[in-house]
Every structure is written in structure tokens, then in C-alpha cells.
Structure 1
Amino acid sequence: MNKEVQLIEFQLKDYKETWEYQETLFKEILDIKIKNRREEIEAPTPNYLISVEHPHVYTLGKSGDIKNLLVNEDELQKKGATFYKINRGGDITYHGPGQIVGYPILDLENFFTDIHKYLRLLEEMIILTLAEYNIKGERSKGETGVWIDVGTPTARKICAMGVRASRWVTMHGFAFNVNTDLSYFDAIIPCGIKNKAVTSLQKEIGGRPLVVKEVQEKLIKHLSTLFEAELTLKV
């Protein structure tokens, strides 16, 4: 089993370009697995983690409801935002500058074959990172992602998640609000969940902007520990 994860760091990169790149890496791993089974060989499969920020964009998962997008095309243009319907699970979400978006493209057969465990570990990575800022992140029953003040009238989401998997290979991932402009969430019903707010790390610590790179390093540290993986920078 190959537990090396190659880290691919983009700063600000177009959503569609990143999605197409994800698809290329996803197909690369699937092709190796198919060839392994066909030829009864055991060539190792690679694992990747893309870390990126996107220009303003809204994405709708395959089971999502377009009614959860509350603006029309003209209003999207005024916001400088784009919209895509995509092939991950989950409903609608927003990506933008100041948000760490992570796309793990992993062959889970290198780690464990359990999608439920995979999602819980991604949530745990966020929870452990929040703890370093003295913030208590929590899971909300039946709602994938990471929340604050679960079970109270002020419950708010700080990290959304949506994944796709085929033959135990994953793509898509998580969106962690760090210095995110939260006003962009007013244009949607985030994740299709009404009457619940969203928040950011910046807001939770009192408004001081954070260095995104420092937060990213904490996330990577926890992911490496939780998945017992060795992360190396892809050049």
C-alpha cells in the first residue's frame, strides 16, 4: 500500500480548471487499478491532495436543488461569480478567496475501505485545526461537515464537505472558511439547510485576518497523522 500523498498547492485557481485537473488525476488512479485487475499485477497507485483557493463560484451537487441558488444569472455576474453543477454529493455551496478548499484524490485501498470513516477523518482534521485556535468544532447529526454551537439557535457551519468515490478512489472534498467574505453565502441556502448560519475562522476569533498558509499547514499536519500518510510536495 502506498501511503504517500503528493501535495499540489495552487493559490487562486479557476474552479473549472481545477475540476478538470482533479478529473485527470482521478482517471489516472482508476486506470492503474483497472489495469492491475485485468493483468493481475500490483502496480502502486498514487494519492494526491490539491489545496487551492477559488475565485467566487457556486457549485451544486448531483442531488442538490437548483432552488437553493437564490440569484439569477445577471446577479451572479454582478457578484463576479460563476456557477457549476457538478458530480459530487451534497447540495449547493460557495467557494471564494480566503477559503481553503481541499481535494483529496486518494485510493482508499491504500488506507482503509470505508467512506464513512473517510468523511469522519476529514471532519476530525478540521476539528483538530479549530482546537488550535481554541474553537470547539463539532459534528451535527445527519449533516456532513463541521459546525460550531451544535444544538443551539446560533449553530453555524464553518466547513462544508462533498465527495465522490469510484472503486475506492475519491475526489472533491472540503471547503474551510478562513478569511471568507461570508456575504456571498446570502445568495444561496448553504448545503440546502435552511435557517442555519455560516461562519469563518476569522469571524470566530474576533475579526483578525489569518495567514491562510499557516492554517493550511495545520490542516496538512492533522491529515497526515489521521491517515498515517506521508505528505510530499509535488513538483
Structure 2
Amino acid sequence: MTAPSERKPRPCRLLDIPLLDYREALELQRSLVDARHTGRLDRDVFILVEHPPVFTLGRRGGLENLTVSQEILQRRGIPVVPIERGGNITYHGPGQAVGYPIVHLPSAGWKVVAFVEALEEIMIRAAADFGVSARRDVRNRGVWVQDRKLGSIGIAVRHGVSFHGFALNAVVNLEPFDWVNPCGLRGVQMTSLARETGRRDLDMAAVRRTVLAHTARILGLDFQPADPAWALRQAQPTTDTTSPIMDHLPQRTRS
């Protein structure tokens, strides 16, 4: 799969956020989707972020695929968050490059299946930049290295606008994946770029850069870096700097 060569890059606001609580990122996404739909936002937004440890449940559920008690997760301080994306249970944590494209699919000329394939292609090409040969697998969306899953995908579409997205395992701690049947698949081992390359010193900043480069190229986006506080003002015009989301934004990104 390749992005159409004739596609003219579309202006897109880029929110490059080092670390943000998952529930705060979800609130931000939903607000941006509404703003994009109603026209308060006149262009798409791409969020690149990492999350503190969290399990998320897609529309297919997933608690039945949790292999440890929720009490154990509570002791570890890892929440379980039900959400509206496709798919089953998965884990997010630091060292995982998570991309959330807030894209108005009709105006960008994307069909949902082709858009999901494009997100897979981003991860495949990013992995190749680190010498890892990843591929698709008919069993489940995402990208794989042989029988090991390297990256996951789950999106939702509301009013023609996509949200949620993909998660590429770079230097993430893989242990929490052992506490679930990831994406509802039994007997599947998760892997990471660090594990596949044997490089414990893999540079997460380099991973994020290559993910952004391939995202821009494959989705046909012309990134315009933006401050997350700008996004909040666009998404929620009445939001002030006492917003709960603002409390979790890195100090250097606040305006």
C-alpha cells in the first residue's frame, strides 16, 4: 500500500506531546473531533504522544481477556479504560509511539479500510528504518514480525472524522502485555523494536521522528507544529488554563 502520489499535502496541526494521561488525551481527541466536524477547526490534527501505563477496552470488550485480577492492576496503579475504538483490549505505556490522526476522511479522500492500511504502512516503514521487517497479518489489524505483534491499530470515526489510531512498540515494557490476551488473541506474543534489534539503548526520540516523517508522507500531511494549549482553545473556546487537561500538559508546551 502506498499513498497516492498525486495527493497534495494538506495542512495539518501537529501536537507532539511527550507524555499525557490516556484519559486526558481521550478528552482532547473527542473535543478536537467535535471542533473539526463543526468547523471550529479548519484543518486536521495529528497527535503523537506516549502514555503512562493503561489498559484500554475497545468496542469488542476485553475484560474476559484480562488474565490478572483488577485488584492487581489497582495495586500497580494501572487503570482500565473502556473506549469507542474498534478492537479488543490492549496496553499503552511509556516507550510506545502512539499516533492519533484527527482527519476528516471524506475531504481528504480516504475510505476507512484504506486509511487503516495507511496507518499500518506508517508502522511498517518506521520499523524498516530500524532494520526490522514488519508485515500485516490476516489474523488481526496492526503489524507483525513473524508471529510476534509489533504494533496495534484501533480507530473510530464520528461525523466522518477519525480518532484513536496506532501504537508502535519501541522501548515499551512488554511485561503488562503478558497480563492479557492482546487484542483478544490467545497465544500471541507482543514484541518491540528494542527486542527485535537487541538494542536496549534504542533512541525513542529517533523513533518518534521517523514515525512523524512517514505519517506526513503516507497520509499526505503538511505538519504545522502547534501548542497543545492552542488545540484546547480551538476545541473548547471557553476552556481556560484551569482545565483538567492543562494540568497534565508538559510545562514547556503551555502558552
Q: When the two structures are superposed, what TM-score results if normalisation uses the length of structure 1?
A: 0.89
The aligned residue for residue 209 of structure 2 is 217
The aligned residue for residue 28 of structure 2 is 21
The aligned residue for residue 111 of structure 2 is 114
Q: Structure 1 runs of 4+ off > 3 angstroms?
A: none
The aligned residue for residue 40 of structure 1 is none
Q: Distance in 1 between matches of 2:139 and 2:149?
A: 13
CA contact (8 A) 1:100 1:178 kept: yes
Q: Distance in 2 between matches of 1:14 and 1:77?
A: 16
Q: Deviation of residue 79 (structure 1)?
A: 2.2
> Please, which moves more after superposition, 61-70 or 192-201?
61-70
Q: Distance in 2 between matches of 1:73 and 1:144?
A: 27
The aligned residue for residue 166 of structure 2 is 174
Q: Deviation of residue 97 (structure 1)?
A: 0.9
Give the root-mean-square deviation of aligned CA atoms: 1.6
Aligned counterpart for 2:72 among listed residues 63, 70, 75: 75
CA contact (8 A) 1:5 1:49 kept: yes
1:189 counterpart = 2:181: yes
Q: Deviation of residue 142 (structure 1)?
A: 4.0
Deviation by residue 1:19-46 (Cα, 9 ceiling, x = unmatched): 00111101101112xxxxxxxxxx9831
Q: Deviation of residue 47 (structure 1)?
A: 0.6
Q: When the two structures are superposed, what TM-score results if normalisation uses the length of structure 2?
A: 0.82
CA contact (8 A) 2:9 2:222 kept: no
CA contact (8 A) 1:2 1:110 kept: no
Amino acid at match of 1:8: L
Aligned counterpart for 2:138 among listed residues 128, 138, 141: 141
> Please, which moves more after superposition, 59-68 or 93-102?
59-68
Assess, with a 3 A threshold, how the Cα gap between structure 1 residues 190 and 44 changes in structure 2: closer, same or farther: closer
Q: Distance in 2 between matches of 1:85 and 1:44?
A: 27
1:105 counterpart = 2:93: no
The aligned residue for residue 31 of structure 1 is 38
Q: Deviation of residue 109 (structure 1)?
A: 2.3
Q: Deviation of residue 119 (structure 1)?
A: 0.6
Assess, with a 3 A threshold, how the Cα gap between structure 1 residues 27 and 171 changes in structure 2: closer, same or farther: same
Q: Deviation of residue 2 (structure 1)?
A: 8.0
> Please, which moves more after superposition, 174-183 or 206-215?
206-215
Which ranges in structure 1 are unaligned for 5 or more consecutive residues?
A: 33-42, 150-154
Assess, with a 3 A threshold, how the Cα gap between structure 1 residues 220 and 50 changes in structure 2: closer, same or farther: same
Q: Distance in 2 between matches of 1:93 and 1:186?
A: 11
The aligned residue for residue 39 of structure 1 is none
1:12 counterpart = 2:4: no
| Equivalenced residues, count | 220
Which ranges in structure 2 are unaligned for 5 or more consecutive residues?
A: 1-7, 228-255
Amino acid at match of 1:75: I
Amino acid at match of 2:154: G
